Amino acid sequence: MTRRVLAIVLASSLLAPAFAAAASGRGVTGRVFATPQLVTITLSAGSVQVGVATRAEATVQNLGASPLNSIKVELRADHAGLVIGDPIRDVNSLKGGKSATLSWTVCGKAAGSYVLLARVTANGIAVDSLARVLVVVSGGKKACP
């Protein structure tokens, strides 16, 4: 029982200044990142013909202050109807507040709508980008490289 009372008293004494600041109208603000890495993906075209290559770019950002190390960036697709050149790329490290952009050539072997996303893994934590859709339409006369 003594431990619980001591914990409550300690917690209230640590939180009291924050509550007092908020009550006085000065407010308390802050940002908490569950993980310091962020990855976004862009496509140079939203629609291409079969056999015509387009480019996908993933930008990895380190939102934290400490460097990210042993970074792997993977371009992922939901279907084998796409050809992606070297889907996994390595970045040695990324200092706090910095970003790196990687690009891939993507080519559709068959008509359809394909979901693409980028996954970054750094310091043992994996984060996925928002998905993008690449529409591949028939009519192309080329074969993917």
pLDDT tens-digit series, residues 109-134: 999 999 999 999 998 889 999 999 99
Question: For residue 145, is it within any domain?
Answer: no
SS3 130: coil
Residues 6+ apart with CB under 8 A from 141: 51
Determine what percent of the chain is predicted with pLDDT higher than 90. Answer: 64
Residues 6+ apart with CB under 8 A from 91: 60, 71, 72, 73, 100, 102
**Do the strands 88-94 and 68-77 form a parallel or antiparallel pair, or are they unpaired?**
antiparallel
Q: Is the domain of 52 the same as that of 19? A: no
Average pLDDT, the chain: 83
Residues 128/37, Cβ–Cβ less than 8 Å:
no
Out of 2-11, 34-43, 49-58, 71-80, least confident range = 2-11
Residue 85: pLDDT band (50, 70, 90) is confident
Q: Is the domain of 55 the same as that of 22? A: no
pTM of the predicted structure, to 2 decimals: 0.73
Q: Is the domain of 24 the same as that of 77? A: no
Mean pLDDT on 79-87 = 90
Print the domain residue range for 60. Answer: 37-137
The domain total for the chain is 2
